[in-house]
Amino acid sequence: MNTEELIQSVRKARQASSQLALLSGRERNGMLQSFHDELMKQKKRLLEANARDLQKAGDYGLSEAMVERLTLSEKRIEEIAEGAAQLIQLPDPCGRTLKRWTLPNGLDIIRTSVPFGVIAMIYESRPNVTADAAALCLKSGNACVLRGGKEAHFTNEAMTDILHEVLRGAGVEEAAVTSILDPDRSLVHTLLTLRGLVDLVIPRGGAGLIRSVVETSTVPVIETGSGVCHTYVDKDADLAKALPVIVNAKTQRPSVCNAMETLLIHQQIAPECIASVFPALRAKGVEIRGDERVRALDPSVLPAVQEDWSTEYGALILSVSIVDSLEDAISHIRKYSTGHSECIMSENKETIRKFMNSIDAACVYANASTRFTDGFEFGFGAEIGISTQKLHVRGPVGLEPLVTYKYKIFGNGQIRE
């Protein structure tokens, strides 16, 4: 694909977005139901395509975390299909009357929700994003232009083919879901500068990819940042409650952005906490890196270096520090947090209140795993990413942030004096 072919593809997506915007909520839900059904029917096809991608993973030098994100299983395909089914049950985000009022001159003003138009997704290694992004865009009446990484080429191709079958069955132009499968990076630069054809860009991947998109794009961007997520075990924590939360936050799926990367422990509870938590983490294969105070209690811990506190490992590696107080824990998190998800384990309501109000992150937890930062878990159906910025959306990006609004003004011949 050359530059002109890309521009023509995006123009077709723009045309298709006008068609989608005119569909009823029932028609868009019908496409989602068909997508769900086809995913369940075509699991074998997707797994075969995914196996081809996994065979080439070594050629691309993918990390263990990237391979884990790339890998599909029957269960993951079923979860993707369930995400599409959940979206059907959610209210239609389009065409809602957000506010209505009448001016003294008789003008009737209605603020109503409308699709953005064309949303571009730039992402790495995650074929589930192809499905989730397309489903969310279809539900919200947007066309989407998808640029996945070359490492998921065959899986993305198969997923796109299934989506095109669904669109054809509904009489909708295939360009409503456009995948750029050509690995030429110059095409991404062109896509990011198609202001007027593309309305919104959402990058999803590592810090380097996100930074590149933010710095290059002339189109508005929703920044889905990396996750250096912390769990702080307070002196008033219930260790029996904290243990499974800590293990889950680190090991349930370590490659994702809402996994815990740093554990902070109050000095009053440190010996007991370490004696309980470290064996459980090591039983799950976690490599523990600690500061001098941690290593004084457990000399087998590897020494943590400065870089560890700001690293999103995406693997079974955990950095651990002992802090003197709640204030020290808050100070550490403020310094190294990426604004994604932070957690406190405590039974002290006042301590929890202070932590919640002091931490500036998209999601702040008390006594629960950071792994819940997820659109599916929040009841949003699928998600298009986790936003760590503050405009115009923060946290899991579900349906509501994918629509904007316009004013409809009804008059009876009024003129302005």
How high is the pLDDT of residue 172? 98
- In angstroms, the Cα distances linking 138 to 28, 52, 245, 381, 403 are 6, 28, 36, 13, 12
How high is the pLDDT of residue 69? 87
Among 31-35, 155-159, 191-195, 203-207, where is mean pLDDT lowest? 203-207
How high is the pLDDT of residue 97? 97
How high is the pLDDT of residue 29? 98
How high is the pLDDT of residue 198? 98
With 0-12 / 13-18 / 19 or more C-beta atoms within 10 angstroms meaning exposed / middle / buried, residue 295 is middle
Instruction: Find the mean pLDDT for residues 288-296.
Output: 98
Instruction: Return the number of other C-beta atoms located less than 10 Å from residue 335's C-beta.
Output: 9
How high is the pLDDT of residue 185? 92
Instruction: Find the mean pLDDT for residues 28-54.
Output: 98
Contact of 182 with 1, CB cutoff 8 Å: yes
Instruction: Find the mean pLDDT for residues 255-271.
Output: 97
How high is the pLDDT of residue 126? 86
How high is the pLDDT of residue 225? 75
Report which of 83, 81, 85 is spatially closest to residue 46, judged by C-alpha positions.
Answer: 81
Instruction: Return the number of other C-beta atoms located less than 10 Å from residue 215's C-beta.
Output: 9
224 has a pLDDT exceeding 80: yes
C-alpha to C-alpha distance for 329 and 109, rounded to whole angstroms: 50
| pTM of the predicted protein model | 0.89
How high is the pLDDT of residue 62? 87
250 has a pLDDT exceeding 80: yes
Report which of 190, 192, 207 is spatially closest to residue 124, judged by C-alpha positions.
Answer: 207
CATH architecture of the domain 3-224+397-410 equals 3-Layer(aba) Sandwich (3.40)
C-alpha to C-alpha distance for 339 and 388, rounded to whole angstroms: 6
379 has a pLDDT exceeding 90: no
List of residues 6+ apart from 75 with CB closer than 8 A: none
Whole-number percent of the chain with pLDDT over 70:
100
How high is the pLDDT of residue 155? 97
Q: What is the mean pLDDT of the chain?
A: 96
C-alpha to C-alpha distance for 368 and 244, rounded to whole angstroms: 9
CATH node for 229-372: 3.40.309.10
How high is the pLDDT of residue 154? 97
Q: Provide the residue ranges of all domains of the chain, joining segments of one domain with +.
A: 3-224+397-410, 229-372
Angle between helices 43-55 and 25-41 (to 10 degrees): 70
pLDDT per residue as tens digits for the range 386-405? 999 888 899 999 999 999 99
pLDDT per residue as tens digits for the range 108-140? 999 999 999 999 999 988 899 999 999 999 999
How high is the pLDDT of residue 406? 97
